[in-house]
Amino acid sequence: MEKIKMELDKLLIVMLVSVFIFFIMVLFNRDICIYFDINKANFSFFLAFITIFFLLFAYFKIQKSSSKFQKEFERVVSEKEKELVKINEEISKTNEYLKRQLYIDDLTKLPNRKALENDIQSMQKPKLIILDIDSFKDINEYYGSGVGDTILIRVATILEDFLKSENIQIYRVGADEFAFLEDYELDMDKYEELATQLIELFKKEQIELIEIDETIGINVTLGFSFDPENTIEKAGIALNEAKHKQIHFLCYFKKIDTKSDYIEQVKWTKFINKAIKENRVIPYYQPIFNANSELLKHETLVRILDENEEVIPPGLFLDVSKKTKRYIEIEKLLIQKSFEQIQDSDEVISVNLLARDMSDGNVSNFVISMLNNYGVAKQIIFEILENENIENLPRVNNFLNRIRRMGCKIAIDDFGTGYSNFSYLTKLKPDYIKIDGSLIRNLATDMSANAIVTSIIAFAKKLEIKTIAEFIHNEETFEICKNLGIDEFQGFYLGEPSPTLLQR
């Protein structure tokens, strides 16, 4: 650019000098002709020639300089564009770095608490679980922060692998805390199942610490919050309460921070009353399979739809409904709707009944009436909760004998806990025993649970009673149960509760 500027300056000087000489010659044209004895016409021709020469000289010089200038200009523009692109790339990198610093945890590369707060604000129905590594402070102090970091990175990897098939985002939200978030309908069963699987996963997991040539096991505690307001704080409350009570997990909805249980009960009572009045009690069905994964039947479960048609699980309303004596109305609606749904099919369903329901003339007569009205007795299995000595209740036995004669079958639910009296099985003679989920879920790790389940199966086979395993939450448990000789299987691994019946 400087060279071109210098050439243009020289050209300008030449042109100015030429114009000046031409002006002098024109001005003193007559005197020059007299002094040099030149013909005036010839001198005029000479002036014209000189003028044309200098104009052509100036023109070609300008053209040449203009071409050089254009090329130089394009080169400079190109360089500047490259500089701008480079600057933009540096700005983008800086912005990305700042974003990572603001929203990404540097150690685990997971989104951080700030990112979690932003994501919750953009969701309509946030469902949050916070996971805390038990005694992490002690681990850090004993082994050092380097080992602590290794554990955190490994935990992050485990969680990512575990949830890769789920539409759930993972965050690191504290020194020893991780969070899981999704925008989803409320499904308490799903999240309790998820929590249980995580707890069992970490019980089995041994983290290899290459730095000190050791392996270490860790335990975790979880807190849930499904409230769109103050979601993180409420999940934290649930987590702290779970730690205080020394239990694996707790949901905020369990009334852990209400000022008054009575206020909470009043709220849920109003909700239940309105749901009954507006016919928002609905049946859900969880499939039950044989060892070949062939569908056999469904268990009927109760749900309530809120005013926004969000499904409310029974853990939030059943206890209150029993305390406020609205449970019977819920049960009647459930029985009527489920019987109506299967009346024109060959589908088989099981329905839960309490001993007190069967001894209550109002409920027992209603059940008999519904069986007659819909003609579905041979498609119904009544599950009786194994929590009281029911063989000593004559009215219960009378009811069971009556529905048996109609074609219904009987199952003992949650067997293996509670009363667990084998002798009353010989008197009651159920068609099925449903082994309690707390035993099934620990079969892979708890030898005592394995021994109890083995004994139940052996006793049931002698009495020709079929066994059903609840809480089949993974393939390993499914295989163990099949190998033990259990007849039927139920759990989230095989099928989740749904408002519709699966087709066989």
The secondary element (H helix, E strand) that includes residue 203 is: helix 188-204
CB 46 within 8 A of CB 26: no
| 66 CA to centre of own chain | 66
Going by C-alpha positions, the residue among 446, 428, 429, 426 that lies closest to residue 438 is 446
Q: What is the pLDDT of residues 400-443, one digit of tens each?
A: 899 999 999 999 988 876 545 676 677 778 999 999 888 898 88
Query: Is 376 in a helix, a strand, or coil?
Result: coil
Unique residue bearing structure tokens 């070609």? 60
| Predicted local distance difference test score (pLDDT) of residue 370 | 96
Query: Is 152 in a helix, a strand, or coil?
Result: helix
Q: CA–CA separation, 194 vs 456, rounded Å?
A: 27
Q: CA–CA separation, 305 vs 108, rounded Å?
A: 40
Q: Give the bridge partners for 171, in sequence order.
A: 179
391 confidence band (pLDDT: 50, 70, 90): very low
Could you tell me the two tokens for 337? 């709707």
**Among 58-62, 330-334, 355-359, where is mean pLDDT lowest?**
58-62
CB 400 within 8 A of CB 369: no
Highest mean pLDDT among 99-103, 122-126, 203-207, 380-384: 380-384
- Which one has a higher pLDDT value, 97 or 164? 164
The torsion of the CA quartet 93, 97, 103, 107, rounded to 10 degrees, works out to 130
CB 432 within 8 A of CB 413: no
- Which one has a higher pLDDT value, 486 or 446? 486
| Predicted local distance difference test score (pLDDT) of residue 48 | 61
| Predicted local distance difference test score (pLDDT) of residue 206 | 82
Instruction: Give the per-residue SS3 of 422-453.
Output: CHHHHHHCCCEEEECHHHHCCCCCCHHHHHHH
58 confidence band (pLDDT: 50, 70, 90): low
pLDDT above 90 (res 483): yes
| Predicted local distance difference test score (pLDDT) of residue 287 | 97
Highest mean pLDDT among 62-71, 199-208, 295-304, 323-332: 295-304
Pairing relationship of beta strands 295-305 and 349-353 according to DSSP bridges? parallel
371 confidence band (pLDDT: 50, 70, 90): very high
CB 188 within 8 A of CB 313: yes
| Predicted local distance difference test score (pLDDT) of residue 323 | 75
Q: Give the chain's length.
A: 504
Between helix 327-342 and helix 261-277 the angle, nearest 10°, is 40
Could you tell me the two tokens for 399? 């009811």
- Which one has a higher pLDDT value, 150 or 25? 150
CB 469 within 8 A of CB 289: no
**Among 134-138, 220-224, 487-491, where is mean pLDDT lowest?**
134-138
Query: Is 380 in a helix, a strand, or coil?
Result: strand
- Residue 287 amino acid letter: P
pLDDT above 70 (res 51): no
The backbone torsions φ and ψ at residue 312, rounded to the nearest 5 degrees and listed phi first, read: -100, 120
Q: CA–CA separation, 43 vs 40, rounded Å?
A: 5
Q: CA–CA separation, 304 vs 283, rounded Å?
A: 9
Average pLDDT over residues 368-388: 88
Ordered by start, the domain boundaries in the chain are: 2-94, 113-254, 261-489
Q: CA–CA separation, 326 vs 293, rounded Å?
A: 37
**Among 178-192, 244-258, 364-378, 473-487, where is mean pLDDT lowest?**
244-258
| Predicted local distance difference test score (pLDDT) of residue 20 | 61
From start to end of 8-165, where are the E strands?
A: 126-133
Between helix 29-36 and helix 2-27 the angle, nearest 10°, is 70
Pairing relationship of beta strands 126-133 and 220-225 according to DSSP bridges? antiparallel
Unique residue bearing structure tokens 């003193």? 28
**Among 249-263, 278-292, 390-404, where is mean pLDDT lowest?**
249-263
396 confidence band (pLDDT: 50, 70, 90): confident
CB 50 within 8 A of CB 71: no
Q: What is the pLDDT of residues 217-276, one digit of tens each?
A: 888 999 988 888 889 988 988 898 888 777 888 888 645 554 445 566 677 888 899 999
pLDDT above 90 (res 475): yes
Q: Which CATH architecture has domain 261-489?
A: Alpha-Beta Barrel (3.20)
445: Cβ–Cβ under 8 A, 6 or more apart, which residues? Answer: 200, 203, 204
pLDDT above 80 (res 60): no
| Predicted local distance difference test score (pLDDT) of residue 39 | 58
pLDDT above 90 (res 469): yes
The backbone torsions φ and ψ at residue 433, rounded to the nearest 5 degrees and listed phi first, read: -120, 125
| Predicted local distance difference test score (pLDDT) of residue 100 | 59
Secondary-structure class of domain 113-254 per CATH: alpha beta
| Predicted local distance difference test score (pLDDT) of residue 260 | 46
Q: CA–CA separation, 411 vs 439, rounded Å?
A: 18
Q: CA–CA separation, 135 vs 129, rounded Å?
A: 19
Going by C-alpha positions, the residue among 188, 412, 190 that lies closest to residue 314 is 188
CB 208 within 8 A of CB 163: no
Q: CA–CA separation, 299 vs 382, rounded Å?
A: 10
Q: What is the pLDDT of residues 79-106, one digit of tens each?
A: 777 777 776 777 666 666 656 567 888 8
| Predicted local distance difference test score (pLDDT) of residue 130 | 95
Q: CA–CA separation, 202 vs 200, rounded Å?
A: 6
